Amino acid sequence: MIDRVLELLRSRQYVALKQLISDMHEADIAEVFSEISDRDSMLRFFRLLPKQTAADVFTYLEPDIQQKIIEAITDVELRSILDDMFLDDCVDLIEEMPANVVQRVLRNTPKDERALINRYLQYPEDSAGSLMTNEYVSLKKGMTAGEALKEIRLTGVDKETIETCFIVSRDRKLEGEVTLREIVLADPDTLVDDLSEDYIISVQTHTDREEVANLFSKYDVTSIPVVDQENRLVGVITIDDAIDVIVEENTEDFEKMAGMNPSDETYLKTPVWQLARNRIVWLLVLMVSAMLTGAMLEHYEAAIAAIPLLVSFIPMLMDTGGNCGSQASTMIIRGLALCEIEGKDLFRVWWKEIRVALLCGAVLATVNFIRITIQYHDSGIAAVVCCTLVCTILIAKSLGCLLPMLAKSLKVDPALMASPMITTITDAASILVFFRFALAFLSARL
């Protein structure tokens, strides 16, 4: 489909192109833009779109393409797009643009909206305030369902969300919420107050956006009202924004857990130097730690010279320790992120990991014992390797659960205590333990 659009655009068959576009979803049209390389064709294509479609497609575009288009179109065209955009999409747009583009955008929004946008921009980027929209329907306490329906018909067209309406008192305090479904299905004379749930889930403007997203999945709601400190309704967060947050936060966790600074853009859009910069800090930190582990090996040069075979077990011990640690830490970090594990579970979790470690350790040690005795006929070395293995796994699993939970209680992101960090620490531990056991068990031969 995309190829067909590009083909028609290239050969300037505009009638056929318009026909094709009219059957496409806005998100798919937006995807076409990512495939157009020159600004001229991009602009030609954008100007082909019907007015309302153009505004919808615009909100689906990647920020860099939005910027290119804004820079190329006239003020009149820009104003027409901004007019059709919802306020929260407009705020998102401004947050992504460089200063000169922001000025142009603000100059072309109506004055009252500009004031509102400025207020929204002041909420911290990760807060509920930055996610919310003010385009919702509020109903007055004491209205009937019939009156509410009339109010919705009157004011709903411009609102981003009318599926859930909010009941407010005269001083705008949030008193209840009622879905469009309930209003439609109810007897027109029922009071909206009676349709409202007793228990309303709401968040404050400064609530962390990850917490907000968790509430959506916990309570199966499609919108959550945002209130200020006096419980006055200031905005609404809708579920489509919550899904975006869930996806973004997960991506951030994946990146942090692999020892990278998270990037805002998708992989293919992030420049090479930016990718390198995101990765290099952690690589350096971890490399220096690994050097310390290496320095420990220098202490045992005599032992290595006496029994060179010892060296050949180092990769296995290091890798197994690292893998065990990352298994545990991944489970714990994920559990903490989904609020399935809390600080008070510390000892329960640790005790669980110790038992898992003993089970895994027993199996791996047995396999190693058999292999080493068969291959080298050396039960001394076999004993050293097996004891080290069990200790390493115990240390790795313990660190894997304790460090993320410690981070959480210190208000540091637990995702930083993932595989790379745990691996580096257990590496040092496993080598230390290995040579301690070697010196103890094989002292006669060293």
In the complex, what is the shortest distance from the CB of residue 65 to its own copies, in angstroms, rounded to a whole number?
15
Cβ proximity to its own copies: between 227 and 260 the closer is 260
Q: How far is CA 301 from CA 164, 318, 388, 446, in A?
A: 71, 18, 19, 11
In the complex, what is the shortest distance from the CB of residue 403 to its own copies, in angstroms, rounded to a whole number?
15
Cβ proximity to its own copies: between 77 and 393 the closer is 393
Cβ proximity to its own copies: between 235 and 325 the closer is 325
Could you write out the DSSP letters of every residue in 260-303? ----SS-GGGS-HHHHHHHHHHHHHHHHHHHHHHHHHHHHTHHH
d(CA 248, CA 254) in angstroms, rounded, equals 10
CB 106 within 8 A of CB 153: no
Per-residue b/e over 85-115, b at no fewer than 16 CB within 10 Å? Answer: bbbbbbbbbbeebeeebbeebbebbeeeeee
Cβ proximity to its own copies: between 40 and 298 the closer is 298
Burial class (CB in 10 A: 0-12, 13-18, 19+), 373: middle
In the complex, what is the shortest distance from the CB of residue 107 to its own copies, in angstroms, rounded to a whole number?
28
Cβ proximity to its own copies: between 81 and 162 the closer is 162
Cβ proximity to its own copies: between 280 and 440 the closer is 280
d(CA 159, CA 245) in angstroms, rounded, equals 22
In the complex, what is the shortest distance from the CB of residue 64 to its own copies, in angstroms, rounded to a whole number?
14
Look-up: residue for tokens 């009157």?
154
86 three-class SS: coil
CB 416 within 8 A of CB 407: yes
In the complex, what is the shortest distance from the CB of residue 67 to its own copies, in angstroms, rounded to a whole number?
19
